[in-house]
């Protein structure tokens, strides 16, 4: 049975993930630096990692195995878990795959370089993306259902 690992600190779909995990009777592991309330659900485990950059990512990359599912927005973490045979998806339901992860890593690096060299991008603070919608939540639930079935068949 696959385990669902959630990079939980800024994840907007923890409740949706728990609903799907419960329906499939599979374990869900919330990995956080703190500030997350534990769930009363016996299928949900909360792991608090040390404070520091990428500690949650390191834990998930170390623990995720073939067929497990990782919910994250972190592209380098997604690349690491794909390498070990886990499945990965964003909170909006977009799946990371071996076919698209290279381009996503390259775009991430390109944008980091642009932000570092472009004075106007530095002065504007954080850029705001589109808001997280009910459609995103629904798409996430549907894709998670599909990945759970795929993970079981591996």
What pLDDT score does 154 carry? 59
Is the whole-model pTM more than 0.75?
yes
How many angstroms separate the Cα of 36 from the Cα of each of 6, 33, 39? 12, 8, 9
Arithmetic mean of pLDDT over the chain: 85
Q: How confident is the model at residue 100 (pLDDT cuts 50, 70, 90)?
A: confident
Residue 149: CATH number of its domain: 3.40.50
Q: Is residue 73 part of a domain?
A: yes
Instruction: Band the pLDDT of 114: cuts 50, 70, 90.
Output: low
Q: Report if residue 109 sits inside a domain.
A: no
- Asked whether residue 122 is domain-assigned, the answer is no
Residue 47 near residue 31, CB atoms below 8 Å: yes
pLDDT digits (tens, 9 = 90+) for 30-86: 999 988 889 999 999 999 999 888 899 999 999 999 999 999 989 899 999 999 999
What is the domain range of residue 9? 4-98+134-153
Q: Could you tell me the sign of the dihedral formed by the alpha carbons of 69, 9, 28, 21, in that order?
A: negative
Q: What is the pLDDT of residue 62?
A: 96
- For residue 39, the SS3 value is coil
**Tally of structural domains, the chain:** 1
- Is residue 127 one of the residues assigned to a domain? no
pLDDT > 90 in the chain, percent: 56
For residue 28, being part of any structural domain is answered with yes
């Amino acid at each position: 049975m696959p385990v669902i690992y959630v990079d939980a600190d800024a994840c907007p779909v923890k409740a949706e993930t728990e609903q799907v995990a419960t329906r499939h009777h599979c374990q869900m592991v919330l990995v956080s630096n703190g500030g997350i309330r534990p769930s009363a659900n016996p299928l949900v485990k909360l792991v608090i990692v040390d404070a520091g950059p990428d500690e949650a990512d390191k834990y998930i990359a170390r623990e995720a195995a073939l067929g497990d599912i990782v919910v994250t927005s972190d592209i380098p973490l997604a690349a690491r878990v794909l390498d070990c045979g886990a499945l990965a998806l964003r909170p909006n339901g977009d799946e990371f795959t071996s076919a698209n992860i290279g381009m996503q890593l390259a775009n991430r690096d390109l944008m980091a370089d642009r932000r570092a060299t472009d004075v106007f991008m530095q002065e504007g603070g954080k850029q705001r993306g589109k808001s997280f919608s009910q459609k995103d939540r629904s798409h996430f639930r549907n894709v998670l259902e599909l990945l759970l079935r795929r993970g079981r068949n591996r």
